[in-house]
Amino acid sequence: MTVHERTMTVPERVVIIGASVAGVRVAQELRQAGYPGAIALVGEERHTPYDKPPLSKEMLAAGSDGAPVPLLPPDQLDALDLDLRLGVRASGLDPARRVVTTTDGQEISYDALVVATGSIPRALPGSDALAGVVTIRTVEDAHELRREFAPGRRLVVVGGGFVGAEVAAAAIGHGMEVTVVEAASEPMALALGEDVGAAIRRLHEAHGVHVLTGARVDRLEGGDRVDASDRVDASDRFDASARVDAVVLADGTRLECDAVVIGIGARPATDWLAGSGLPIVDTPGSDGVACDIALRVNGFPGIYAAGDIARWPHPLYAEPIRIEHWTNTGDHARAIAADVTGSRTHGVTVP
């Protein structure tokens, strides 16, 4: 790429909504590019920014203390000189006023805004009404699932993608009975091809995981009403009235279980942008916030999108793409920092 022809001065204040990988990487790249202004990093979780991949790996592993893995050491986080606002959830955006509103009534003004709120795991119908059903997005999710892990307990993992594969491996390490239900012909076949998918399936099976391919879930079933004596742990989630006790497949197969993990993909976390006017794409197979090649939100100068939430035109693809991958956030962060500071951008990377 060439140096971007700037039509705006360097903003005095950048606000980043989302304090996970994408948000932190944008802050890092801005400082590395020499940005001297104020940076506010706003995140709905109360935890110091932590790495997401370990939620379904290291944090669940046998022998782990279950602690989150920090994205940066404390001294490096301090060196970024951030206005770090944790436990603050964005609820709306007014681009005309250049203000983000929050659920606790704050108004956060910006000169440049980076939307980095990531994605939300997809659930199965009725799953919210049953205890023992977990999706993985936060530290609390990982802790909830870890409380379900015990030798001899039966876990059904719906979805054989990266999250499902990692959770299955961790659960086997705890001595659980694990069944993976995958709709495709092989686990990860869409991303990696059937040959690699078949190798992954054989590896699972060699470690004792039962893998069902070409299988679709019809429904989840719950057993008796939950009370305190049924809880795996005192902090178990109990707005639900019953615990899951089976996964029923479309062919009628009933898989009895003690817990279920749902790993069937995610959708961009754009709900809070409703009414903002930002170009949110929401069609089958195509979603996210529409951006240009520099991750500027189309039609909204001074607003950028980064990470899982961004849909942008990659030069190597015929249609705009959205990628849910850790390394993708780094590419986005560099592009945004270059545009904000007017510095030279990096070359195009292959996803």
232 has pLDDT over 70: no
Q: How confident is the model at residue 224 (pLDDT cuts 50, 70, 90)?
A: low
Rounded distance between C-alpha atoms, residue 151 and residue 174, angstroms: 6
Residue 121 CA to residue 143 CA, distance in Å, equals 16
pLDDT of residue 202: 97
For residues 329-333, average pLDDT:
93
Query: What's the pTM?
Result: 0.90
Res 228: pLDDT? 43
**pLDDT in the model for residue 327:** 86
More confident residue, 129 or 88: 88
Assess whether pLDDT exceeds 90 at residue 40. yes
Give the pLDDT of residue 199: 97
Burial, 91: exposed, middle or buried (Cβ in 10 Å; 0-12, 13-18, 19+)? middle
- DSSP output for 132-200: TEE--SSHHHHHHHHHH--TT-EEEEE--SHHHHHHHHHHHHTT-EEEEEESSSSTTHHHH-HHHHHHH
pLDDT in tens, 286-297: 899 999 999 999
More confident residue, 7 or 52: 52
